[in-house]
Amino acid sequence: MSDKSGEFRVLDKAAIASALPMSECIDLMKETMETVSRRRIEMPLRMIMPVPGSDSHLGIMPGYIESPQVWGTKLICLVPENPKRGLSSHTGVVLLYDVETGQLRALLDAAAITALRTPAATAAASRVLARPDATSLAILGTGEQAHGHFEALELVHRPTRIFIWGRSREAATQFRDAVAPATRATVTVCETVEEAVREADVVCSVTAATDPIIEGRWIAPGTHVNLVGSSIPAKSEIDADGVAQARYFVDYRPSAEAQAGELKRAIAAGVVTLDHILGEIGDVHLGLCPGRTDDRDITIYKSLGVSAQDLTTSQRIYEAACARDLGQKAAL
């Protein structure tokens, strides 16, 4: 990878979408989370800087992976008000560096990377934690991540029924109309979260909720829940009882212990301890930790997102871009 040209490749949303399909990214995320659980990484916790007077945050996510060697950083701004402006709630860049020289090798659209790797990682987790016969899916949320999670979970579960809930009925209807042609499933807009959750074998929550929108009493035995929307300690998508009744798995234990809002609230309520984390999803993929043990288990996958996911996704895209001459070349 090392050279003396000083050139780097700039890869936008279109180049990223062309370089790595979701189906391949799902398998890549399985491999990545195995690498994380083997600790073949250097991965400081995400640094989160709030913007005073707003709900916006800046996330800084550096990392290094031993094999294949990847070194880089994601700088991501989370601006919850952006969808009202017609913009992505996530905006920023992923930077890949030459491992030998530190020279910049690629600059990628972080929103596009996040929109790809997050649903792919969720789908890889859902594939091993949900019941094999799961046929119904609830998606809570209607934003960019909801669309990505529809695509990824459609690939691994092939549901026959999909239930959608959003705070805006109009947005939920638009989401339904957008995804319905891409699935054999019947797609229904639900009036309440409870209605969607009670109907589902697999629940995927991708909201910006500060306080829980899911109550544990709505979740039927055998259900798998993906919690994806909240990535800071102050936010939570499910109540303490929902956490307590489930077999609880995380993407990266140090992150979950520090930043998983649902877990922190359940600990504060006195219903669980940190020992409630049964393992990382990479441990489940590797067969080192049992995931689902029977058809009545309620399972939770808590996704906070880790830089390793960004780096392996970006590296795979960069390699494809070099081979196919995608994107633009630049130099500083």
pLDDT band at 29; cut points 50, 70, 90 = very high
Q: What is the DSSP string of 71-126?
A: EEEEEEEE-TTGGGGTS-SEEEEEEEE-TTT--EEEEEEHHHHHHHHHHHHHHHHH
CA–CA separation, 39 vs 33, rounded Å?
A: 10
Quote the pTM value: 0.95
CA–CA separation, 248 vs 275, rounded Å?
A: 10
Pair 10, 326: CB distance under 8 Å: no
pLDDT for position 213: 98
* Count of the separate structural domains present in the chain: 2
Residue 2 in any domain: the answer is no
Element (H, E) at 302: strand 299-302
**Could you check whether the bond before residue 68 is cis, i.e. omega within 30 degrees of 0?**
yes
Pair 12, 112: CB distance under 8 Å: yes
Q: Are 125 and 160 within one domain?
A: yes
Q: Are 234 and 298 within one domain?
A: yes
Share of the chain above pLDDT 70, in %: 99
pLDDT band at 324; cut points 50, 70, 90 = very high
CA atoms within 13 A on the CB side of 12: 4
**CATH code of the domain covering residue 193:** 3.40.50.720
Residue 136 in any domain: the answer is yes
Instruction: Give 75-122 pLDDT, tens digit per residue.
Output: 999 898 888 888 888 899 999 999 999 999 999 999 999 999 999 999
CA–CA separation, 259 vs 193, rounded Å?
A: 24
CA–CA separation, 262 vs 277, rounded Å?
A: 12
Q: Are 60 and 203 within one domain?
A: no
Short-list 13, 77, 128, CA closest to 231: 77
Domain that holds residue 274: 119-305
Q: Are 170 and 319 within one domain?
A: no
pLDDT for position 87: 86
Pair 27, 34: CB distance under 8 Å: no
Q: Are 16 and 73 within one domain?
A: yes
Pair 212, 239: CB distance under 8 Å: yes
CA–CA separation, 177 vs 183, rounded Å?
A: 11
Residue 292 in any domain: the answer is yes
Instruction: Give 260-280 pLDDT, tens digit per residue.
Output: 999 999 999 999 999 999 999
pLDDT for position 2: 46
Arithmetic mean of pLDDT, 34-43: 97
Arithmetic mean of pLDDT, 116-140: 99
